[in-house]
Chains A and B, each alone.
Chain A
Amino acid sequence: MSCCGASPDFEELDEVSRLVAGKLAAFLKTLRDSGFAVGLHEGQDAAALMAAGYAQKPGLLRSAFKHLFSARKSDWDKFDGLFDAFWLAKRVRSRSITTGSTKAANNPSFKSLQDQASARAGSEATDQVASTDDAPEGGAGEGRMEGASRADNLAEIDFRKMADPGQIEEAHAVAARLAKTMRTRLTRRDLARRRGYRLDLRRTIHRNISHGGVPINLVKRQRKDKPLRLVMLLDASGSMSMYTGVFLRFIHGVLDEFREAEAFLFHTRLAHVSDAMKEQDAARALDRLSIMAQGAGGGTKIGESLQTFNRWHAARVLHSRSCVMIVSDGYETGDAQLLGREMAALAKRCRRIVWLNPMMAWQGYAPEAAGIKAALPHIDLYAPANTLKSLTALEPYLAKL
């Protein structure tokens, strides 16, 4: 797959020399690495374009390729940089690099995430070794029971108090599983509620042609219920670093195969992470995320992030049956008034706003931070989310929406 879409028709396109075809193939690979969805068909078309004389001027070829390979605005915006870097050997603006960047390792809060991920990978390996070593039948059964009881305990431990990598891994797995069951239950309830409510006259006549047009079988028009859509906004700032790992896994679980969900990450600015989250492998998803969230670990500008969301994403990702879930501690370093205004605007656009605050369950916590104070009037459900149990408790609420 990676070795290009241009190769299949060398014979047909003898005008395009093998050299150019090879270069084109490499360009397609570059595009794929940068997140473009480029298939075999595009490769062939590109070769056809070069043969048709579009390759004479770089500007023309760039413009032609841009239309062919881009599929969305983000592609459209970064294409010129990529093209120039590849064909004209100019320096790419750092913004256009989406993969293969190693800069992310410098980000404090994401570094910790990656550490967790690698620790997890390590612990998985040891787990397997252990289970093969001492695994007669009885032992295996015992192991399972022990696992179950430990999971019970886990449900009530605050995420930040989990230190042992094995435990963290388990919590992550539970979060992912929880997300999965929530997803199926929410979807099923939705299906069960569909009912026809209006008579469809045209179809009724059609159905009853065999009765000479006497309407015996009535056909009703069904309104299609929009499935509940979850839009998650996760605070990835330094103050939340204890929790981001677990929530990322939770979000990954919800987004996995679930069509109606979108995820955003914010700290001082907002990043749309749904695509990165669709990566099947959770650890790889985290890797991709760490690249997207460059600049994490500073303050939290919730208000500004929400403003970006309202302005650029809300129209696309929100509809009347959307639930916005904000996971944040509410420590706003920006303008708290702005946060209040943007929350009000957001509340008008969606069905419910759920604000999960991991700090809420801490003893002596009161919502005194200016940010959370400004936001509270617009929130439908303000809940703690520091343990797996509290995450589970959310499900019935979401099911009612």
Chain B
Amino acid sequence: MNNREQIAQALAASGYIADGELATAISLMQLLKRPLLLEGEAGVGKTEVAKALASSHATELIRLQCYEGLDQSAALYEWNYQRQLLAIQAHRGEDAGAIEDQIFSEKYLLERPLLAAIRRTKPPVLLIDEIDRADDEFEAFLLELLSDFQVSIPELGTIKATTIPHVVLTSNGTRELSDALRRRCLYHYVDYPDVDREARIIMARIAGASASLSQQIARMVEGIRKEELRKVPGVAETLDWAAALVGLDVRDLLEVPETVHETLMCLLKTHEDKSRVTREVSQRLLGKVA
């Protein structure tokens, strides 16, 4: 349990600046062998957690992007029908039983992310991204897999997990998740980072961003988040903006108010927000940065 600092450091080394609570969540995840459910606004870096976790464990990241209509054949396994058909044609006239055994063997099985995740020799990080976009039925199916870690394929038999993957689920809240799934998981709400952490994120991610510039950017973004906006900029947007400013050779935001206003397009993604943050508003926000 004292490995929380180690976890935070390992994540930082792979480019993710975690707060103390997230480090606790990850250490719990390893202790209790439970999946971790991350919720939060779009763009706060939920997916990045899984990526950083994988690179800190020096293991593979297996990602399952959920969408409406996602089903077992796209998520778990599927038979390679074309190859099976070819094999049937090629062995026409031979013993039917032998052909059947052959075409329903491992060689003709297409691994999809979930099956792949439980068959690796080294436990991978399984990222189930945007679980709220999948249907209820898939959620129920996933629940079963996450509790037993075994899959039964009628033609092959039951496949037990060789290793238990580190499972990270993310949700944007477009749909209410079932209580059963929530209860199985550890829960962490990923919030927008505070100024200091955001500045450190910028410094870690954008080569050439100085400490003072990063602080300024982080403060400016915090000010913008407090405005009544339709689409609040996330960390990804902050990084875009920082990269843009660094690319334009900006050293100090206060020196170039024009550039600051013009590059705000990196942060504001709707027309309404753009027209709301006028030159005056950006001046006012910039005034607070100093």
Q: Which residues of B contact A259 (CB under 8 A)?
A: 136
* List of 3 A-B pairs having minimum Cβ-Cβ separation, nearest first: A71-B182, A70-B187, A213-B85
> Known contacts A224-B135, A315-B174: does B39 contact A73 (CB below 8 Å)?
yes
Distance of A188 from chain B, by nearest CB (Å): 19
Q: Which residues of A contact B32 (CB under 8 A)?
A: 45, 48-49, 68
Q: Is B20 an interface residue (CB 8 A)?
A: yes
From B82, B135, B173, A316 is in contact (CB under 8 Å) with B173
User: Per-residue CB proximity of B80-123 to A under 8 Å, as 1/0?
Assistant: 01101100110000000000000000000000000000000000
On B, residues with C-beta under 8 Å from A are: 1, 20-21, 24-25, 28, 31-32, 34, 36, 39, 69, 73, 78-79, 81-82, 84-85, 88-89, 135-136, 172-176, 179, 182-183, 185-189
Separation of A120 and B182 alpha carbons in the complex (Å): 37
Q: Of A133-141, A201-209, A244-252, A389-397, which stretch is located at the interface? A: A201-209
Q: Is A347 an interface residue (CB 8 A)?
A: no
> Known contacts A224-B135, A315-B174, A316-B175: does B183 contact A64 (CB below 8 Å)?
no
Q: Would A75 and B84 count as touching, CB distance under 8 A?
A: no
From B69, B79, B185, A224 is in contact (CB under 8 Å) with B69
User: Per-residue CB proximity of A232-268 to B under 8 Å, as 1/0?
Assistant: 0000000000000000000000000001000000000
Q: Would A202 and B81 count as touching, CB distance under 8 A?
A: yes
Q: Would A60 and B81 count as touching, CB distance under 8 A?
A: no
Q: Which residues of A contact B173 (CB under 8 A)?
A: 73, 315-316
Can you report 13 residue pairs joining A to B where beta carbons are below 8 Å apart?
A37-B182, A52-B1, A70-B187, A70-B189, A72-B39, A72-B182, A76-B189, A206-B79, A212-B85, A224-B69, A224-B135, A259-B136, A315-B173
Q: Which residues of A contact B85 (CB under 8 A)?
A: 205, 209, 212-213
Q: Which residues of B contact A206 (CB under 8 A)?
A: 79, 81
On A, residues with C-beta under 8 Å from B are: 37, 39, 41-42, 45, 48-49, 52-54, 60, 63-64, 66-68, 70-73, 75-76, 202, 205-206, 209, 212-213, 224, 259, 315-317
Distance of A342 from chain B, by nearest CB (Å): 12
Cβ-closest chain B residue relative to A69: B187
Q: Which of B31, B78, B172 is the most central at the interface, judged by chain A CB atoms within 10 Å of its CB? A: B31
Q: Would B81 and A209 count as touching, CB distance under 8 A?
A: yes
Q: Would A316 and B174 count as touching, CB distance under 8 A?
A: yes
Q: Which residues of B contact A64 (CB under 8 A)?
A: 24, 28
Q: Would A66 and B21 count as touching, CB distance under 8 A?
A: yes
Q: Which of A37, A39, A63 is the most central at the interface, judged by chain B CB atoms within 10 Å of its CB? A: A63
Q: Which of B82, B85, B172 is the most central at the interface, judged by chain A CB atoms within 10 Å of its CB? A: B85
Q: Which residues of B contact A45 (CB under 8 A)?
A: 32, 34
Cβ-closest chain B residue relative to A48: B32
Q: Which residues of B contact A317 (CB under 8 A)?
A: 176
Q: Would B39 and A54 count as touching, CB distance under 8 A?
A: no
Q: Would A63 and B179 count as touching, CB distance under 8 A?
A: no
Q: Would A205 and B81 count as touching, CB distance under 8 A?
A: yes
Given known contacts A73-B39, A212-B85, what 20 new A-B pairs fall within 8 Å (CB)? A39-B183, A41-B183, A45-B32, A49-B28, A63-B21, A64-B24, A64-B28, A66-B21, A67-B25, A72-B182, A72-B187, A73-B189, A205-B85, A206-B81, A209-B84, A212-B88, A213-B89, A315-B172, A315-B174, A316-B176
Separation of A206 and B108 alpha carbons in the complex (Å): 13
Separation of A344 and B183 alpha carbons in the complex (Å): 38
Cβ-closest chain B residue relative to A42: B183
Q: Would B187 and A49 count as touching, CB distance under 8 A?
A: no
Distance of B207 from chain A, by nearest CB (Å): 33
Separation of A206 and B77 alpha carbons in the complex (Å): 14
Distance of A313 from chain B, by nearest CB (Å): 9
Q: Which residues of B contact A53 (CB under 8 A)?
A: 1
Q: Which residues of B contact A209 (CB under 8 A)?
A: 81, 84-85, 88
Q: Which residues of A contact B24 (CB under 8 A)?
A: 60, 63-64, 67
Separation of A53 and B182 alpha carbons in the complex (Å): 25
Q: Which residues of A contact B20 (CB under 8 A)?
A: 63
Distance of B30 from chain A, by nearest CB (Å): 11
Cβ-closest chain B residue relative to A315: B174
Separation of A316 and B28 alpha carbons in the complex (Å): 29
Cβ-closest chain A residue relative to B39: A73
Q: Which of B28, B78, B175, B182 is the most central at the interface, judged by chain A CB atoms within 10 Å of its CB? A: B28
Distance of B35 from chain A, by nearest CB (Å): 12
Q: Which of B36, B78, B188 is the most central at the interface, judged by chain A CB atoms within 10 Å of its CB? A: B188
Q: Would B179 and A71 count as touching, CB distance under 8 A?
A: yes
Q: Would B187 and A71 count as touching, CB distance under 8 A?
A: yes
Q: Would B89 and A212 count as touching, CB distance under 8 A?
A: yes
Q: Which residues of A contact B36 (CB under 8 A)?
A: 67
Q: Which residues of A contact B187 (CB under 8 A)?
A: 67, 70-72, 75-76
Distance of B227 from chain A, by nearest CB (Å): 13
Q: Which residues of A contact B183 (CB under 8 A)?
A: 37, 39, 41-42, 71
Q: Which residues of B contact A42 (CB under 8 A)?
A: 183
> Known contacts A45-B32, A202-B81, A205-B85: does B1 contact A54 (CB below 8 Å)?
yes
Q: Which of A48, A49, A64, A259 is the most central at the interface, judged by chain B CB atoms within 10 Å of its CB? A: A64
Distance of B81 from chain A, by nearest CB (Å): 5
Q: Would A68 and B81 count as touching, CB distance under 8 A?
A: no
From B25, B31, B69, B179, A49 is in contact (CB under 8 Å) with B31
Q: Which residues of A contact B1 (CB under 8 A)?
A: 52-54, 60
